[in-house]
Structure 1
Amino acid sequence: MTGPDETAPAASGRPEAADERRDAVPRAVVRWLLAVLFAVAGVGHFTAAEAFRAQVPPWMPWPEAVIAVSGVVELALAAALAFAPRRHRPLVGWVTAAFLVAVFPGNVSQYVTGTAAFGLETDSARLVRLFLQPALVAAALWSTGAWAAWRARRRAKGRRFRA
C-alpha cells in the first residue's frame, strides 16, 4: 500500500534523483518492516510487560512506568514510520534512531545482568543482540531518507559557502 510519493520522487536534474527512485521501494519495505517491529514491540509492552522488565536496568526508577512509556513511544513511532508524509520522514528517522540509542542501555543491562527474555537465553545471544541495535539505527536513518536529507543539506551549505 504505497502512495504516489512512495515509489518515484519528482524528477530533477540532480544525479541523485535516479538513485532515489531506484531505492524508493527497498526503503519503503525496510521502513514498513520497522513499523511492524515497533508496533509488535509496542503492543508487547502492555501484553507481556514482564518480559520487557528484563531490559530495564536495575538502577532505573519506576520500571513499570518506563515499560509503559516506551511502549507508547514505540506505537507512536510505528505509526509515524508507516504514515508520515514524505517531507516529515527524515525527522521520523532521526527520532526513531534517537529512541533506539536511548533504549540501548537496557539491552546492555540485559547482557550484563544475564537476564533471559525474548528468547535470549544465553550470553552469546544477548551479545549478538547488542550488535543488532546499530543495524536498526542505520535502517531507520536509511529507510526514512534521514541520511540522504542530511547529506543534501551539507552539500547545499558547501555550495553556498563556495559561491
Structure 2
Amino acid sequence: MTREVLRWVLAIFYLLAGIVHLARPAPFLTIMPAWVPAPEAVVLWTGVAEIAGAIGLVQPFSKKLRQAAAWGLALYALCVWPANINHFALDMAKPDGGLGLAYHVPRMFAQPAIIWLALWVGECLPLRRKTA
C-alpha cells in the first residue's frame, strides 16, 4: 500500500514539474550549465520526459512499463543533477547567498533519495521477503 501511494505522489510531482518545464522554461534555463547544448530544447524535452515518466509510472497495464518509467525517471534525476549543482554554485556566489544553504543542501541530498524512490516505487529494486 505504501509503495502504491508513494508511486502516485512521485508521479504527481513529476507530472507537475513537467508541466512547469513546458509552461515556464525561463527559470530552468537560468540554472542550465553553460556546456549543455541547445538548452531550450533540453528544457522542453526534460518536461516531456517528466510527464511521460509520470504517466508510465502509474499506468495499470504493465509492470514492465512501470519499471521502464521508473528507470527513466531515475536516470532523468541523475542527468539533471548537474543543473542543480550549477544552481547551487550560482546562488551561493550571489552577494546575498541566493536561496542559501538551507535550500540547496537538502536539495543535494534529495536527489539520490528521489533516484532511489523512483526505483523502489517502480519495483526495480530487489524486495526483501519476511521469513516465517
Instruction: Give the structure-2-normalised TM-score.
Output: 0.83
Which of 122, 136, 152 is the equivalent residue of 2:100?
122
For 1:82 and 1:55, locate their aligned partners in 2 and report how far apart those are by CA, in whole Å. Answer: 30
Aligned partner of 1:99 in structure 2 is 76
Aligned partner of 2:40 in structure 1 is 64
Secondary structure at 1:37's aligned position in 2? helix
Secondary structure at 1:121's aligned position in 2? coil
The alpha-carbon deviation at position 82 of structure 1 amounts to 1.4
The alpha-carbon deviation at position 88 of structure 1 amounts to 3.0
The alpha-carbon deviation at position 38 of structure 1 amounts to 0.7
Work out whether residues 31 and 82 of structure 1, in 8 Å CA contact, stay in contact via their aligned partners in 2.
yes
Secondary structure at 2:44's aligned position in 1? helix
Secondary structure at 2:87's aligned position in 1? helix
Segments of 5+ residues of structure 2 without an aligned counterpart are: none
Between stretches 83-92 and 64-73, larger displacement belongs to 83-92
The residue correspondences of 1:30-49 to structure 2 (distance < 5 A) are 30-49=6-25
For 1:72 and 1:95, locate their aligned partners in 2 and report how far apart those are by CA, in whole Å. Answer: 12
For 1:122 and 1:53, locate their aligned partners in 2 and report how far apart those are by CA, in whole Å. Answer: 20
Aligned partner of 1:147 in structure 2 is 125
For 1:111 and 1:101, locate their aligned partners in 2 and report how far apart those are by CA, in whole Å. Answer: 16
For 2:72 and 2:23, locate their aligned partners in 1 and report how far apart those are by CA, in whole Å. Answer: 25
Instruction: Give the structure-1-normalised TM-score.
Output: 0.68
Q: How many residues align?
A: 124
Aligned partner of 1:154 in structure 2 is none
1:88-135 Cα shifts (integer Å, max 9, x gaps): 32232222211111111111111111179xxx7224312221111111
Which structure has more relative contact order (CA 8 Å, sep 6+)? It is 2
Work out whether residues 77 and 92 of structure 1, in 8 Å CA contact, stay in contact via their aligned partners in 2.
yes
Aligned partner of 2:85 in structure 1 is 108
